[in-house]
Amino acid sequence: MENVLWVPERARWPFIQGNAKQPNIAVLLDEAMGLIEADNSKLDGLLPKVYVRTVLEQNTLGSLIDLVASINFDAKDGGDVLGDVYEYFLGNFAGAEGKNAGEFFTTKPIVSVIVEVLAPRKGKLYDGACGAGGMFVSGKRYALSHGSTARDISIYGQERNPNT
């Protein structure tokens, strides 16, 4: 029961995806965040409830949900589906930003070289400019591929930009 989060039915992906085209999708997303917090005291006050205040059109939120639903992320190899989705979108967004992307995104090949040099297997992995957390994802993958378990490595980081 340790390190397990409960996600209520109205906050689960099938419910969100099934209601993506509803005119109140922003309200449903904010409510989903509140429901998750209510059932997981460790998350109380931490999840964003900003969708009602967003400048995005409701149909844009619905289209984004549909886009995520259309991507085939396969976790059969023990991968991190959430991390893969995050890297996919961040990589595409960073690519669209061009030369300014490095401010918030270190490309996967560079992170891979750093992780290979560090060779994290046990203990703490600290990233002093963690931004999007790509070092953490790659560090965990490296550790797991070299015989470590997820509990063998702890990740720590900071970011100078509080909006990241």
User: What is the per-residue pLDDT across 23-50, written as a single tens digit (0 to 9) for each?
Assistant: 999 999 999 999 999 999 989 998 999 9
Mean pLDDT computed over every residue of the chain: 82
| Number of helical (H) and strand (E) elements in the chain, helices listed first | 6, 2
Average pLDDT value for residue range 132-137: 79
pTM for this model (two decimals): 0.57
1-70 maps to CATH 1.20.1260.30? yes
User: What confidence tens digit (pLDDT) does each residue in 75-108 have?
Assistant: 655 556 766 677 777 767 665 555 555 556 677 7
d(CA 136, CA 88): 15
Q: Where in the chain is the domain with CATH 1.20.1260.30?
A: 1-70
CB contact at 8 A, 33 and 48: yes
Higher per-residue confidence, 20 vs 81: 20
d(CA 108, CA 110): 5
Strand partners, 127: 157
